[in-house]
A and B are shown apart, each in its own frame.
Chain A
Amino acid sequence: MKVLRITPDRCTGCMRCELACSYMQTGTFQPAKSVIRVSPFEAYASYAPYTCPQCAEAWCLTACPVEAITVSPVGAKVVLDDVCVGCKLCTIACPYGTIFYNAETGKAFKCNLCDGQPACAEACPTQAIEYVEAETHDWLGAFAAERAARHLTTLASA
């Protein structure tokens, strides 16, 4: 299936993905409602966008007691708003921390790959986020470990 391939070395930290995502998902420019979130590394000189890996196990889907999470035609695990009761089991079952609860709507929300046209990938000016045919992967681990090393060293000597 097509997944969001993230190449953190290309990320400039411009946060356009967060704005595009929140606008596509909620109709408002609210990074807090974005389901792709950019984290700073190396004391804020490197950045890495993080989102749902659309894992095969689908911890959120299996945890839901009312079958409010299903698999969309593009392979995304998606929340059915009219079925979700807001019990939050998915938010503690997902070990990646990529499904959230919206206190205003009382529903869970997560990345649905924008039904096959992810706004984050379209908005990214440096192709740090691409929507391509690939196996899902830990796109950020090695980059973050390397970029964070100096940050942790600074911390240890502080």
Chain B
Amino acid sequence: MVRHVIVGGGTAGMNAITTIRQYDKGASEIVLVASERPYARMVLPYYLKGDISEAHVYTATPARLRALDVQTYIGRRAVGLDPQAGTVTLDDGTQLAYDDLLIATGSSPVRPPVPGADAADVYSFWTLEQAQAVLHRLRPGCHVAMVGAGFIAFTILNAILARQARLTVVEIAPQVLPRMIDAQGAKLVEEWLRQRGVHLRTGANLTAIEPADGRKRLRFQEGEDVVADVVILATGIRPNLEWLEGTGLAINRGVLVDEHLRSNVPNVYAAGDIAEGRDLVRGEAAVHAIEPTAMEHGRVVGANMAGQPVAYRGSLLMNIVEVLDLEIASFGAWDDPQAEVSQALVPERFAYRKLLWRGDRLVGAMLIGPSREVWTSNDLGMLKGLVQSGIRLGAWKSYLHHHPFDVKRAFIAAGTTARLLPQTVLGSPSVPAAAVAVRRGV
């Protein structure tokens, strides 16, 4: 029986496992190595906020893994790989032989290289364990300093404020969300947050985090110190590549993969945050480190491991975050400097739209607006559809240039639905994960 070894139980790993079983119904061996019990990182902010219980966070119960006939090494890490021998070595010395391997070991938070940043009572917010540590420190009225104003930081601002903490956000870049929206959009977001009592310091170069009578003092190159009860670092992530050094795998910023998500070693796949694969819009290899890319990567690897030669068109970069009822989203090449731009800005309504064009194709989009306003997000998915399909908009380009908030008519009349219907990831109907199980006795 073919033996698939999956290293990593996050979104990419779990989607690969479910997809293998969707196709082979149990006609292979699957071994999962995961350092933690599989859970959904995306929903940790809702756990921190208190909206959901810990049980809600887990993506694969032991019963589900049994139903999928998966042998598990939970709590174990892979520390070595020998592609010639076809074996993975775990941190307890166990050697696992594979016929094919998925590397889906994700990424880890990076701490800024300043004194005090590595202290145990300075928190990251990335794993479930880290989320729990932060949760236990948040008290009503306490002062939280968030270092970093990127996507991860923004996903937990609501939770921190909902727990009645005071919040100061410091960011080294001159704007918030520097890898998600442009400077004009960031200005709107910053104004929105300031009006709601969040202290913001952009362009702030942190130099040290020092103990201060049970609290923490943050020092900067310029400007006043910040003294806080809880310090959370959200200063970026990097792929967990260390264990792959010297294995001969081709690695750039991540493990380089082809259209079947194979590395330069044909029976070794990579998926999710650790994979550097084709970006749908730009056509180049990129590490996206976003949930939708991890999910699609996982499904494509699963299909290929199950013997379905599925080629992947590439991943569409996309992010959405709501902070204090302000919706912020961007798609595709939202920062393409070569693109033609259509935009509309209504500062008093916190409304912003930006469309990016190459010829009459939409290659990127950005939107900001209050979540309670219908116009903010009623055509959110259609913007994604226009970018994803690459459909030519012809005369509608000029219409959208003048009316960037009226996307729907252009979407419908360009025949986008007809273009999208056959444009699927796996080319077969998707099945809910809960409906996938092995057929005993295969």
Instruction: Identify the A interface with B (CB < 8 A).
Output: 32, 37, 39-41, 48, 50, 53, 55-58, 61-63, 65-67, 69-71, 83, 85-89, 91-101, 103, 106, 136-138, 140-142, 144-145, 147-148, 152, 155-156
Contact = CB atoms under 8 A, between A and B. Distances in A.
B106 to A, nearest CB: 14
Contacts of B409: 39-41, 144, 148
Contacts, number: 167
Contacts of A86: 46, 51
B291 A53 contact: no
A89 B320 contact: yes
Contact of B11 (A65, A145, A155): A65
B331 A92 contact: yes
Contacts of B333: none
Interface string B419-441: 01100111011111111000000
Given A41-B409, A136-B421, A152-B399, A100 B377 contact: yes
Nearest to B410: A148
A96 B424 CA distance: 13
B122 to A, nearest CB: 27
Interface string B20-43: 000000000000000000001111
Contacts of B43: 65-66, 85, 87
Interface residues of B, number: 66
Nearest to B394: A152
A16 B41 CA distance: 42
Interface string B322-346: 1001000101000000000000000
Contacts of A106: 51
A27 B56 CA distance: 28
B398 interface: yes
Given A65-B11, A92-B329, 12 more contacts: A37-B408, A39-B408, A57-B430, A67-B59, A70-B434, A93-B292, A94-B381, A94-B385, A97-B384, A97-B408, A138-B418, A145-B414
Given A85-B56, A103-B325, A145-B414, A92 B318 contact: yes
B421 A53 contact: yes
A138 B433 contact: no
B381 A70 contact: no
Contact of B299 (A62, A87, A100): A62
A100 B378 contact: yes
Nearest to B382: A97
Contacts of B425: 57, 62
A94 B384 contact: yes
Contact of A65 (B59, B331, B398, B416): B59
Q: What are the 6 closest A-B residue pairs judged by CB atoms, nearest first?
A: A95-B385, A97-B381, A97-B382, A138-B418, A141-B415, A138-B417
A53 B381 CA distance: 13
Contact of B430 (A48, A58, A92, A140): A58
